[in-house]
Structure 1
Amino acid sequence: MKLEFDIASGDFSQAGQASSRIKKVLKQLQVDPKVIKRIVVAVYEAEVNVVAHSLGGQIIAEFSNEYVEITVQDCGPGIADIGQAMTEGYSTASKKVRDMGFGAGMGLPNIKKNTDELSIESTVGKGTCLKFKNNLNG
């Protein structure tokens, strides 16, 4: 099964829709609630990152019997220093985003903590592709 979601830049009212839909599917598949929580946290963090930092993007969730693989592709501006972006507390969020309660610099670190496999590719001026995988059997 495959689900695709378009994510609009700056539209925080829509943030969480992809993670909510993925959570419903995982519950229908009777995945362990602890595994569901890890996946949903990672997807939500990725979703908010696209809304807060990019020019828009897409989330694709592909489900198998053993795992779920999430691909998050955005349309710029890209990450100049992925290592620095992975540092807890490091943020490039605007004041507006921080004033809404986002942009604490925990998005990528939380994604890493809640996934079994993670890869990030980014080109400044082009965009970022984040892929992560979680085993469904714990």
Structure 2
Amino acid sequence: MELNFTIEGGDFTQAGQASSRVKKVLKQLGVDTKCIKSIVIALYEAEVNVVAHAYKGHIKIQIDKDKISVVITDEGPGIPDIEMAMTEGFSTASKKVREMGFGAGMGLPNIKKNTDEMTIESVVGQSTTLTMVNYF
């Protein structure tokens, strides 16, 4: 099964729609609740990152019988130092985003903690692609 979503940068009212939909689908498929929780946390964090940092993004989700694969590609500023961005507490979020309660610098570390596999590729000034895999 494949699901696709579009994310608009700056639109925090839409953040979480993909993770909410995926949660419902995985419950219907009988996936373990602990596994669903990890997937939903990672996907929500990724959605918020796109909303907070990029102009727009696309999520492609592939659900197979033994795993879920998620690829999130955005158009935005990119990540100049991925290793630094993976550090808990490191954030490049704007003051406005922080005032809304986001941008604490836990997004990428939380994604890593809640996925079985995670890769990030980024081109500064163009885009970032995040790939996550969780096995059921």
TM range (shorter): over 0.9
Partner in structure 1 of residue 131 of structure 2: 131
- What SS does the corresponding residue of 2:42 show, helix, strand or coil? helix
What residue number does 1:43 align with?
43
Aligned match of 1:108: 108
> What is residue 11 of structure 2 aligned with on the other side?
11
What is the CA-CA distance between 1:76 and the residue it aligns to?
Answer: 1.5
- Alignment gaps of 5+ in structure 1: none
Which residue in 2 is equivalent to 1:32?
A: 32
CA distance in 1 between counterparts of 2:59 and 2:102 reads 19
Match of 1:94 in 2: 94
Distance (Å, rounded) in 1 between the aligned partners of 2:122 and 2:116: 20
Take 1:121 and 1:27, find their aligned partners in 2: how far apart are those partners? Answer: 30
- Identity over the aligned pairs, expressed in percent? 65
| 1:22 partnered with 2:22 | yes
Secondary structure (helix, strand or coil) at the match of 2:39 reads helix
Instruction: Give the aligned residue type for 2:106.
Output: M
| Matches of 1:63 and 1:16, distance apart in 2 | 18
Secondary structure at the aligned position of 2:21 is classed as: helix
* TM-score in terms of structure 1 length: 0.98
Q: Which runs of 4+ in 1 moved over 6 A?
A: none
SS in structure 1 of the partner of residue 48 of structure 2: helix
